[in-house]
């Protein structure tokens, strides 16, 4: 009997993920089909001012690389949506703020105490955006280990569906 329950849970989780992606597409987010490839090499700055390379960002399992910029209302909407999440989503997130130095990024990160479990970085010269050819901000990349699997670009028209998709990605086995 336990085997059937386990199989049903896996099937339900897959169904939930599929429905979330459909909602995101339907409500206007741009889901980009990206070529599945390793995270390219680039350098950004940790909040303490030290330079780090993209290979140090890589986490085990499934995680999220979030690229935002200041003065971006869609980025603000995304951050408000994930701040309200009550799971351990932040521990699976790397947040890169484009166009700012480390001190500014540290101040901005301090405004989001519920995301203190995320790893925050500054990208003053927008090298992440140019390396990954981001069409703007915000962009959320779903990674498995060092492999780029998918991306979502743009506004957050339905925060609940957006959050569900992100949580579903990092919670998948």
Do the beta carbons of residue 90 and residue 120 sit within 8 Å? no
Query: What pLDDT was estimated at residue 157?
Result: 74
Q: Is residue 102 classed exposed, middle or buried when 0-12, 13-18 and 19+ CB atoms within 10 A define those classes? A: buried
Picking from 138, 126, 120, the residue whose alpha carbon sits closest to that of residue 81 is: 138
Structure tokens at 56: 């140090």
Residue recorded with tokens 């971006």: 72
Q: 112 φ, ψ to 5°?
A: -125, 70
Q: Looking at the domain that runs over 2-171, which CATH code has it been given?
A: 3.40.30.10
β partners of residue 140: 66, 152
The DSSP H or E segment spanning 20 is: helix 2-26
Residue recorded with tokens 């303490």: 48
Four-residue CA torsion sign, 124, 107, 143, 159? negative
Query: What pLDDT was estimated at residue 19?
Result: 44
pLDDT per residue rounded down to tens, the chain (173 residues): 444 344 444 444 454 444 444 434 443 444 445 678 999 999 999 999 999 999 999 999 999 999 999 999 889 888 988 888 777 899 999 999 999 999 999 999 999 999 999 999 999 999 998 999 888 899 999 999 999 999 998 877 777 788 888 999 998 87
Query: What pLDDT was estimated at residue 34?
Result: 64
Judged by DSSP in three states, 1 sits in coil
What is the DSSP secondary structure assignment for residue 54, as one 8-state letter? G
Query: What pLDDT was estimated at residue 172?
Result: 82
Do the beta carbons of residue 162 and residue 153 sit within 8 Å? no
pTM for this entry? 0.80
Query: What pLDDT was estimated at residue 87?
Result: 74
Query: What pLDDT was estimated at residue 107?
Result: 97
């Amino acid at each position: 009997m336990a085997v059937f329950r386990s199989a049903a849970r896996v099937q339900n989780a897959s169904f939930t993920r599929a429905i979330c992606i459909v909602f995101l597409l339907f409500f206007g987010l741009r889901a980009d089909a990206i070529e599945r490839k390793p995270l390219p090499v680039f350098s950004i700055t940790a909040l303490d001012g030290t330079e780090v390379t993209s290979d140090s960002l890589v986490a085990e399992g499934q995680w999220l690389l979030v690229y935002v910029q200041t003065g971006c209302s869609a980025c603000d909407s995304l951050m408000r949506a994930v701040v309200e999440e009550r799971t351990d989503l932040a521990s699976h997130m790397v947040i890169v703020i484009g166009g700012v130095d480390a001190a500014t990024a540290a101040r901005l990160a301090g405004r989001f105490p519920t995301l203190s479990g995320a790893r925050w970085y500054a990208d003053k010269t927008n090298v992440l955006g140019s390396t990954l050819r981001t069409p703007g901000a915000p962009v959320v990349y779903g990674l498995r280990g060092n492999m780029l699997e998918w991306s979502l670009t743009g506004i957050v028209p339905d925060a609940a569906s957006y959050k569900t998709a992100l949580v579903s990605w990092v919670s998948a086995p």
